[in-house]
Amino acid sequence: MDKIIFYLAILFVISVSCSKKDVVNQHIISEVEGLVTNDERRFFLEEIQQENWKIRKHITDIEMVYGYDSKERKEAFQLMLQTNKINLQKIELYLSRYGHPSAAIHGDLAAKTPYIVIHHSGNLASKERNFEHLYRAYKQGDLGPSNFSVFLGRYYTTKFDKQYNLP
């Protein structure tokens, strides 16, 4: 029960802060521009991934306790959507400022974070905006072929409303 109250409080804080969009954007801009070292950039990206994983695990936990159609799950899902939106803003700003992270410099988890955040955005426009970054990362070996294949498959399905099947 304490977890639910905690996440509801986070949802409230996020919704209040997101109503002041310029403040949130300025905070994100300051946060990303303040990443001077490769270690700071790695930590920033890994933190986004941990937050991404944690919110999804929380939804699974809520479903197990309260059920899929519960009020608690719907509230947790809304928190996840808001978190996805903020994480996408962070990643897009990061990519425009520093380019795609290198697995050799930043580590595998940090290098996969942009793909995962863009994949979870559920937004065709964000996939199109960031295609070049992910394609370049794939070509440079910073994004594995299976991840890039999943990205392309999801993009195709979203854009054309049908599954692509190899001949």
> Which pLDDT band, with edges at 50, 70 and 90, does 108 fall under?
very high
Work out the average pLDDT over 116-121: 95
Angstrom distance (rounded) from CA 23 to CA 2: 29
39-56 burial, b if ≥16 CB within 10 A, otherwise e? eebbebbeebbeebeebe
Per cent of the chain over pLDDT 90 is: 78
Tokens of 77: 């899902």
- Identify the pLDDT of residue 163: 87
**Do residues 156 and 164 make contact, with C-beta atoms less than 8 angstroms apart?**
yes
Residues 58, 62, 68, 74: is their CA dihedral positive or negative? Answer: negative
Integer Cα distance of 3 and 62 in angstroms: 10
**What pLDDT does 20 receive?**
46
Q: What is the pLDDT of residues 149-158, one digit of tens each?
A: 999 999 999 9
